[in-house]
Amino acid sequence: MTIHTPDWVKHAVFYQIFPDRFARTQRSHHHPEMAVPLEPWDAPPTLCGYKGGDLWGVAENLDYFVELGVTALYFTPIFQSASNHRYHTHDYYRVDPLLGGNEAFTELLQAAHDRGLRVVLDGVFNHASRGFFFFNDILENGPHSPWLNWFKVETWPLSAYDGTKPANYESWVNNRALPEFNHENPATREYIMQIGEYWIRQGVDGWRLDVPFEIQVPGFWQEFRDRIKAIDPEAYIVGEIWKDAAPWLDGTQFDGVMNYLFTGPTLAFAGGDRILQEYVEIPDYYPYPALDAEGYQRKITKLLSLYPWEIQLTQLNLLSSHDVARALTVAGDDQATLELAVLLQMTFPGAPSIYYGDEVGLQGGLDPDCRRVFPPRSQWNLDLLNHHKALIALRNQHLALRTGAYHPLYAKGLHYAFARTCPDEVVIVVVNADTEGACIPLESLPKGCQNQQPQAQYGAGLTWGTTEAGLWVDLPPRTGGVLTLPAIA
């Protein structure tokens, strides 16, 4: 079987946006549903409070994304919901009125596409909410509701709010606010398929699927893929699966997953014993224990062996997300850790994804703290922002960093090097995660490179030289560098 994944994703840099926290619109509008009391923008986030970020606010900042170099936006849920994160869906066809409704999204989508930015939405198809009309009808009419088969009702009476009584229906992780769909029911299944199709027809460029491993009905995700790809063969389908995702990455279901198997080892190597256990023991992505270069290489080699190469190139490689503490906070606010991790992220096969605000030094612990508002310009860490810009530009400039093969070159102590190769160029990435400067010998260069003269592309303080055996690179403590070599002979 020939596996096809969207070509644009292989060249993309994503930016993840939590809509309630990115930006409030500056425009005048006449939407009374948006003229409501909100939490102070600069106050710490809470589990239930709304900050009032909206999609017009995102649209007003599209030039920022272009300047940063990102080419795709991934939004956590935007559909009508009674929660600030909107994973409790009320209406899959209606954008939340607090975000500006369908009108705001239509304008945002067009404006993003005009700038060459793709847009991927979050699809929450395992469960809905107590406010979802069909489930709400069950709450109102009990066993007389025509929608009983859409959910997994066990006995009566249902208790949707009183935690002292059994809920009597299946819900995600036993959270009675999130009743699970009955995906065995043909009508429910068709409803979800049509939602997926509808938004792709509106121009959306793909779906990020929430907890898709919970839906185990045979053929469900195969049908979803077939129907989405029939409308847009280049639509991106990426699943939220934290561990080995091989059962879903056979070419018949998802194009990739949120690559936490990259996140954990990368932070464990870049941060070492700086990683704060209090932030990483609950989420299952394991940026601990500390890894040396040999340990990191073993993890990365195993990861790159799990899936076909066509799939590897469309993995979503992240360092932070709305479900984990922010990388900078995880690393004890050690900026060098984040900078090294970003270097590894931007040079790794797959599409890098920046969680909003990470690039300007936004901090945050576990949920809800990882969902702070995007800071004002006066609070940006400009060194970190420029670091992101430079590495994104480097990735966008070099095809080898996007689709080239991955070759480990050196792994010893806290020194790691690898090459990305394609027929036209070789890019060498060298990382010194140690607290002392290092001279790293690179003797096993790709064939045809031994006698070539490299050019330094990135790395403050980087120096290099050649020997009969190959190349040496000298790096200051806790820094990395990138060099390029001419085409392989």
Question: Would you state the pLDDT for residue 49?
Answer: 96
**Do 194 and 285 have their domain in common?**
yes
Determine the pLDDT at residue 448: 67
Side-chain-side CA neighbours of 370 within 13 Å: the count stands at 22
The confidence score (pLDDT) of residue 1 equals: 78
Q: Residue 16: give its domain's CATH number.
A: 3.20.20.80
Residue 432 located in a structural domain: yes
**Quick one: 354 and 429 in the same domain?**
no
- 112 and 38 belong to one structural domain: yes
Per-residue pLDDT, 452: 73
Structural domain that includes position 469: 404-485
Same domain, 445 and 321: no
End residue of a domain, out of 343, 365, 397: 397
Q: Residue 97 domain-assigned?
A: yes
Q: What is residue 65's predicted lDDT score, i.e. its pLDDT?
A: 98
The Cα–Cα gap between 73 and 93 comes to 20
In a domain, 140, yes or no: no
CA 195 distance to own-chain centroid: 22
pTM of the model: 0.97
The encoded tokens of residue 168 equal 């009597």
* 380 and 252 inside one domain: yes
Clarify whether residues 332 and 445 are in a common domain: no
Residue 206: what are its φ and ψ, rounded to 5°? Answer: 165, 175
Burial of 460 (0-12, 13-18, 19+ CB in 10 A): exposed
pLDDT confidence of residue 224? 98
Q: Are residues 285 and 431 in the same domain?
A: no
How many residues are there in the chain? 489
pLDDT at 489: 55
Task: Give per-residue pLDDT as tens, 399-419.
Answer: 999 999 999 999 999 999 999
HEC-encoded secondary structure of the chain: CCCCCCHHHHCCCEEEECHHHCCCCCCCCCCHHHCCCCCCCCCCCCCCCCCCCCHHHHHCCHHHHHHHCCCEEEECCCEEECCCCCCCEEEEEEECHHHCHHHHHHHHHHHHHHCCCEEEEEECCCECCCCCHHHHHHHHHHHHCCCHHHECECCCCCCCCCCCCCCCECEHHHCCCCEEECCCCHHHHHHHHHHHHHHHHCCCCEEEECCHHHCCCCCHHHHHHHHHHHHCCCCEEEECCCCCCHHHCCCCCCCEEECHHHHHHHHHHHHHHHCCHHHCCCCCCCCCCCCCHHHHHHHHHHHHHHCCHHHHCCCEEECCCCCCCCHHHHCCCCHHHHHHHHHHHHCCCCEEEEECCHHHCCCCCCCCHHHCCCCCHHHCCHHHHHHHHHHHHHHHHCHHHHHCEEEEEEEECCEEEEEEEECCEEEEEEEECCCCCEEEEECCCCCCCCCCCCEEEECCCCEEEECCCCEEEEECCCEEEEEEECCCC
Tell me which residue of 65, 71, 83 sits closest to 22, measured CA to CA. Answer: 65
Q: What are the catalytic residues?
A: 210, 240
* 172 is a domain residue: no
Q: What angle do CA 60, 62, 68 make, to 5 degrees?
A: 135
Amino acid present at 314:
T
Do the Cβ atoms of 69 and 84 come closer than 8 Å? no
152 lies in a domain? no
- Per-residue pLDDT at 488: 60
CATH number of the domain that residue 460 is part of? 2.60.40.1180
Regions of the chain with pLDDT less than 70: 448, 450-451, 487-489
Query: Which among 337, 363, 397 is the end of a domain?
Result: 397
Q: How far apart are alpha carbons 249 and 264 in whole angstroms?
A: 20
Q: Is residue 133 part of a domain?
A: no
Q: Do 339 and 439 sit in the same domain of this protein? A: no
The total number of structural domains that make up the chain: 2
For 40, the token pair is: 């102070």
Q: Does 89 lie in the same domain as 28? A: yes
In a domain, 164, yes or no: no
Give CA–CA dist 6/26, Å, rounded. Answer: 35
| Predicted pLDDT of residue 146 | 97
In angstroms, the CA 307 to CA 410 distance is 23
* 424 occurs within a structural domain: yes
Residue type, 211: V
Same domain flag for 242 and 351? yes
Q: Are residues 384 and 416 in the same domain?
A: no
The domain boundary residue, chosen from 397, 414, 444: 397
Q: Are residues 374 and 432 in the same domain?
A: no
